[in-house]
């Protein structure tokens, strides 16, 4: 049937408008001493895992590698472990976050504080700073303490 490609393209456009979603990646970067990397943004309060949005034409892995390098100078030296995919509907009705655990990495030049990332630091899991986001706290309980996994951020 010659109309199938046209109909398929039409339906794909319709689905993008009615079923739009956004995808982000975040990394639980763990150093050799078991400390966790957290960042403090300039545009929202609290401490969070480094990460950001997946750009068009970019894989999840590529987005994670780019975001870790941009935000903290962290460069992957081995495969990160995909820990889970979470809905994050409180930000956007179709938002999702892929969470990776990163144990194999090096740190190159650390970017200077800027409007996006005000501060980045490693913290002991049992001595997290005040203001760690609730989502990050829940994910750390899942990753480090075996808490039951949620589907929601």
- The tokens 């990753």 sit on which residue? 143
Cβ-in-10-Å burial (0-12, 13-18, 19+) of 122 comes to middle
Which domains are delineated in the chain? 23-145 (3.90.79.10)
Antiparallel, parallel or unpaired: β 117-123 and 36-41: antiparallel
Give residue 1's pLDDT: 44
Q: What is the Cα 45 distance to its own chain's centre?
A: 16
- List, for residues 73-120, the tens digit of each pLDDT value: 999 999 999 999 999 988 678 899 999 999 999 999 999 999 999 999
Q: Outline where the chain has alpha helix (H).
A: 4-18, 60-72, 134-145
How many residues belong to the chain? Answer: 153
Q: Identify the bridge partners of residue 85 per DSSP, sorted by sequence position.
A: 98
- pLDDT digit string (tens) for 7-44? 666 766 776 666 678 899 999 999 999 999 999 999 88
The pLDDT score that the predictor gives to residue 20 is: 78
At residue 6, the pLDDT reads 76
pLDDT tens for each residue of 117-145: 999 999 999 999 999 999 999 999 999 99
Q: Please choose, from the candidates 23, 24, 134, the residue with its C-alpha nearest in 3D space to the C-alpha of residue 68.
A: 24
Per the CB < 8 A criterion, the answer to whether 46 and 119 are in contact is no
For 49-80, write each residue's pLDDT tens digit: 999 999 989 999 999 999 999 999 999 999 99
Q: Is 38 helix (H, G, I), strand (E, B) or coil?
A: strand
What's this model's pTM, rounded to 2 decimal places? 0.88
**Alpha-carbon distance 32 to 136, whole Å?**
20
Cross-strand pairs, 37: 122
Q: For the sheet containing 36-41, what is the strand order?
A: 47-48, 36-41, 117-123
């Amino acid at each position: 049937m010659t109309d199938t490609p046209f109909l398929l393209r039409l339906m794909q456009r319709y689905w993008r408008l009615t079923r739009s979603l956004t995808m982000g990646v975040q990394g639980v970067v763990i150093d050799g001493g078991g400390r966790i990397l957290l960042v403090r943004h300039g545009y929202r309060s609290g401490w969070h895992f480094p990460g950001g949005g997946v750009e068009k034409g970019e894989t999840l892995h590529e987005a994670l590698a780019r975001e870790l390098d941009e935000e903290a100078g962290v460069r992957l030296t081995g495969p990160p472990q995909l820990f889970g995919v979470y809905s994050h509907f409180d930000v956007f009705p179709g938002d999702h976050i892929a969470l990776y655990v990163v144990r194999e990495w090096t740190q190159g030049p650390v970017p200077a504080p800027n409007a996006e990332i005000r501060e980045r630091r490693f913290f002991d899991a049992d001595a997290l700073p005040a203001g760690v986001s609730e989502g990050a706290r829940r994910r750390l309980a899942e990753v480090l303490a075996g808490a039951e996994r949620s589907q929601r951020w």
